[in-house]
């Protein structure tokens, strides 16, 4: 009986320790990156594209596997005429999430427009 009680106590203690253990670091990184992405969307909707770029760059630094953050960053670079940076960000987003139809659509549209117009004319932004 004592052995069985000891086993139950050990199982309960192990379960409690597992539940109380901190979340994996990648989960925290993704949550922090998502906060940056959401903030970037908010400021972009108000026309604050430089701030949006800063937030989305931060998101990609916090979580380099977050394809949606690279997609948003690419859109902002494109908006600001930084086409080489936009292309690289789109390519990274596609690399991370090759089956994401939104990223695919954005990148295909980017390529169609910029390849047709000769995308070598990039704005100089400090």
- Residue 25 CA: distances (Å) to CA of 34, 37, 38: 14, 18, 20
Q: What is the DSSP letter of 24?
A: P
Model pTM above 0.75: no
**Residue 115 binned pLDDT confidence (cut-offs 50, 70, 90):** confident
Find the distance separating the first CA and the last CA of the chain, reported in whole Å.
75
What are the residue ranges spanned by the domains of the chain?
26-117
> Which range among 7-16, 38-47, 117-126 shows the weakest confidence by mean pLDDT?
7-16
Domain 26-117 class, CATH top level: mainly alpha
Write out pLDDT tens, residues 23-73: 455 579 999 999 999 999 999 999 999 999 999 999 999 999 999 999 999
Q: Does position 107 have pLDDT exceeding 60, yes or no?
A: yes
Give 117 or 16, the one with higher predicted confidence.
117
């Amino acid at each position: 009986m004592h052995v069985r009680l000891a086993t139950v106590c050990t199982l309960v203690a192990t379960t409690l320790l597992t539940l109380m253990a901190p979340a994996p670091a990648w989960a925290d990184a993704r949550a922090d990156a998502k906060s940056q992405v959401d903030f970037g969307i908010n400021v972009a909707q108000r026309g604050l594209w430089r701030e949006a770029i800063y937030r989305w760059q931060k998101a990609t630094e916090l979580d380099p596997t977050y394809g949606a953050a690279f997609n948003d960053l690419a859109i902002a670079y494109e908006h600001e005429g930084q086409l080489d940076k936009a292309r690289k960000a789109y390519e990274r987003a596609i690399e991370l999430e090759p089956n994401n139809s939104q990223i695919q659509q954005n990148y295909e549209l980017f390529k169609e427009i910029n390849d047709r117009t000769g995308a070598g004319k990039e704005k100089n932004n400090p």
